[in-house]
A and B are shown apart, each in its own frame.
Chain A
């Protein structure tokens, strides 16, 4: 019995239950949803640096705490932009230098998985293509 039983005739129906975190889907602010919906990586990168995105990180907090967090986010905004730029630069360096080496190094393993475990291989590719929560 993992769900409420059906009501018997003559008794009040069980009240409607709410939804779990998984049933509700991703819980993000409108600004973050807009950035994540961008198909272009470059636009997404610019979106991460926008003040609206940074400010939206205080969304969902109770009043007073939210305003305090927004104040703190304004203060750290220059540092945030610097961190995103440095992060982007590191990512670029990684994809230019290390990634091709790893791609070649692990090619036999990918080929083995594709041949012997095609369903898992497809599932893994689909998982990373969708950029799922976990």
Chain B
């Protein structure tokens, strides 16, 4: 009887399918027929964390330094393909399910989404409830997925300090935003203030959004930080830069509708910025000024 008999399959249904931090979700485990010969059964609430890692040798080895030389730049087979996308499971809460007489027929479990939960997105996390039934025969493993949306009220909204990326600060470049939190698909509004410290050549000013995906795996070697710049929005050409005459220019930047929200997970993070760059006219020794201000991007109102 036992050799060819098939045990039942399980299905995990998570309701509601779309939730916010501090909401409660319910997982209902059903089986088409009772699963027998069960030793233990457990539900694991957590998320699959997507990230990049460096698989090919040491990042700073002498060979890698050779790869980065100008002679081999862009050549396939040198520094190409050293990084790879992968994912790892991050467990938040594990619940052992009661088993009576070695048979599992179904269960129900609830889970409160933590306030620090990273939002669901293909770039960083996929929230799941995983069922693992350990039995004498083939184990039963299945999962139910749900989506975590992050809204404006779910994040700590505060203005983060400006970061200077490059330049000599001959002109003070400040980015002021209408608010620090923005929803995907919205238009970011604010203004850039230029404060020249001396009479300088005229400048060209432009702004854009910047998305930064950090890799910080627990075990594997991290990949270098990946940055993506949005469409460059020119704010003015030949802006006069004279000492004691600050210039204030408003701007608007469109955020992509599918922008992955700002998130911090175990193996990777996503950060967003508004950046401004000021380029001095002519051939001179004045360096390009670049600054950026962190913003928080959410995917729900």
Question: Which of A's residues lie within 8 Å of B, judged by CB?
Answer: 1-8, 11-12, 14-24, 26-29, 32, 48, 53, 56-62, 117, 120, 133
Contact = CB atoms under 8 A, between A and B. Distances in A.
Contacts of A26: 60
Interface residues of B, number: 44
A7 B58 contact: no
B275 interface: no
Given A11-B114, A60-B61, A133-B60, A5 B93 contact: no
Interface stretch (B183-191, B192-200, B210-218): B210-218
A4 to B, nearest CB: 4
B203 interface: no
B266 A18 contact: yes
Nearest to A26: B60
B225 A20 contact: yes
A59 B216 contact: no
B59 A20 contact: no
A59 B62 CA distance: 11
A8 to B, nearest CB: 5
Chain B interface mostly: loop
A17 B214 CA distance: 12
6 contacts: A18-B217, A27-B221, A32-B58, A57-B61, A59-B58, A62-B55
B18 interface: no
B278 interface: no
A18 B112 contact: no
B264 A21 contact: no
For the residues of A in contact with B, the DSSP-based class is loop
A112 to B, nearest CB: 10
Nearest to B214: A20
Contacts of B218: 16-18
Contact of A20 (B62, B92, B222): B222
B223 to A, nearest CB: 7
B92 A12 contact: yes
A59 B225 contact: no
Contacts of B265: 17
Given A5-B155, A12-B92, A19 B216 contact: yes
Interface string B76-106: 0000000000000011110000000000000
B208 interface: no
B275 to A, nearest CB: 15
Contacts of A117: 168
B156 A60 contact: no
Given A2-B262, A17-B266, 12 more contacts: A1-B155, A1-B156, A1-B262, A1-B264, A1-B296, A20-B225, A26-B60, A27-B221, A28-B60, A32-B62, A53-B62, A59-B57
Nearest to B58: A60
Closest 6 CB pairs of A and B: A4-B264, A27-B59, A18-B216, A18-B218, A60-B57, A57-B63
Given A12-B114, A29-B61, A18 B267 contact: yes
B61 A59 contact: yes
Contact of B160 (A2, A6, A17, A19): A2
Contacts of A32: 58, 61-62
B133 to A, nearest CB: 23
B124 to A, nearest CB: 12
A57 B62 contact: yes
B116 A4 contact: yes
Given A2-B269, A4-B264, A21 B114 contact: no
